[in-house]
Amino acid sequence: MEVQEAIGTRRSYRFLLPHKPVELEKVQKMLEAARLASFWGNVQALRAVVVHRETATDAVTKSLFAPVAGFQVDRAPVVIVWYLDYGALDEQGERLKELVRARALGIEEQAALDYLDQTLIPFFEAAMPLIKEGALTDMDCGQGIAQATLMAIEQGLGTCLLGTTNQEQIKANLGLPETAKVLVLMCVGYPAESREAGGQRPRLPFEQMFKLNGYDTPFPRSETVVEELTEAKMLQASAPLPWRQAELDYLQKALDLPNF
Ligand SMILES: Cc1cc2nc3c(=O)[nH]c(=O)nc-3n(C[C@H](O)[C@H](O)[C@H](O)COP(=O)(O)O)c2cc1C
């Protein structure tokens, strides 16, 4: 699947086949995609524990709890617990040096290493408390999770992210380090619903979200580009497709779902 189509096809798939196993090789490909995502200073603080319902202990599966639409967690064959390890930030100097040695940063190697030691690393160390509070690190974790999502779509899988309020119990049951912060649970499985999953979910108008050179000027949205992206299946028909209610009725019965 082309990347444009994968972006367009990506949905939160809330209805997964509980009985169809997910190959761990496919999950590996999702993790490989997450691993390659950009991260400020190449810190790579995004980590995950894959919970494979078939083989995980009861204590582990039972600790996975999501307050909103939690029925998904109870039925998903795989739940990826994505977490941020703040411990990775303490190794940031080393990560920067690796970038210089890989010739991705700086022009002349020794000069760049000296600059890191004398200027950049002390700057980041001083700023670390602010960095830990800020949004950049969380945002970069999101980039990795987004890449894993696209890899899932490409392999015919569906995913849905769910926030959890069970931070401490999940950390304890999975044996995560003290420095871990659980970000989100990702249900993974083969979709029980159609690939369209009811159609493209509502989005705010493009011009309201994106501007050119200042807040007052909407970014000009070219109709030609819209047509191109529609052709490439990135832009798809809006939800709800005419048969969505019938599909939902069917899914409710098939998956024995509560009325909500
Ligand atoms: C970080 C994140 C956390 C989310 N948490 C929940 C959740 O706890 N419960 C839920 O039902 N949906 C959750 N969602 C799914 C969103 O509701 C969904 O992305 C949104 O409705 C748009 O649908 P789409 O993903 O199909 O475009 C979450 C999505 C993201 C990105």
pLDDT for 67 equals 86
The atom of ligand 1 lying closest to the CA of 11 is 26
Tokens of 89: 């930030």
- List residues near ligand 1 (CB under 6 A): 11-12, 66, 68-69, 161-163, 184, 201
Q: What is the DSSP letter of 179?
A: T
Task: Indicate the pTM of the whole model.
Answer: 0.96
Cis upstream peptide for 240 (omega within 30°)? yes
Q: Is 179 exposed, middle or buried (0-12, 13-18, 19+ CB in 10 A)?
A: middle
Q: Taking the CA atoms of 239, 244, 245 and 251 in sequence, report the sign of the dihedral they define.
A: negative
Q: Considering only CA atoms, which residue is closest to atom 18 of ligand 1?
A: 12
- 186 CA → ligand 1 middle, Å: 10
- Rounded distance, CA 31 to CA 188, Å? 12
Q: Considering only CA atoms, which residue is closest to atom 28 of ligand 1?
A: 161
- 224 CA → ligand 1 middle, Å: 30
Q: Considering only CA atoms, which residue is closest to atom 2 of ligand 1?
A: 161
The atom of ligand 1 lying closest to the CA of 160 is 15
Tokens of 12: 């939160």
Structural domains of the chain ordered from first start = 14-192 (3.40.109.10)
Contact in structure between 218 and 212 (CB atoms under 8 Å): yes
Place of tokens 């798939």: 13
Task: Give me the tens of pLDDT residue by residue for the chain, a chain 260 residues long.
Answer: 899 999 999 999 999 999 999 999 999 999 999 999 999 999 999 999 999 999 999 999 988 988 888 899 999 999 999 999 999 999 999 999 999 999 999 999 999 999 999 999 999 999 999 988 889 999 999 999 999 999 999 999 999 999 999 999 999 999 999 999 999 999 999 999 999 999 999 999 999 999 999 999 999 999 999 999 999 999 999 999 999 999 999 999 999 998 87
Q: Considering only CA atoms, which residue is closest to atom 17 of ligand 1?
A: 12
Q: Determine the 3-state secondary structure of 160 from DSSP.
A: strand
Q: Considering only CA atoms, which residue is closest to atom 29 of ligand 1?
A: 161
Contact in structure between 170 and 81 (CB atoms under 8 Å): yes
The atom of ligand 1 lying closest to the CA of 183 is 1
- 204 CA → ligand 1 middle, Å: 16
Tell me the C-alpha to C-alpha distance, in Å, between residue 107 and each of 30, 42, 116, 163, 181: 34, 18, 13, 43, 36
- Rounded distance, CA 154 to CA 156, Å? 6
Instruction: Name the residue of 162, 235, 241 to mutate for ligand 1: max ligand atoms within 8 A of Cβ.
Output: 162
pLDDT for 201 equals 98
- 90 CA → ligand 1 middle, Å: 31
Residue type, 229: L
pLDDT for 259 equals 83
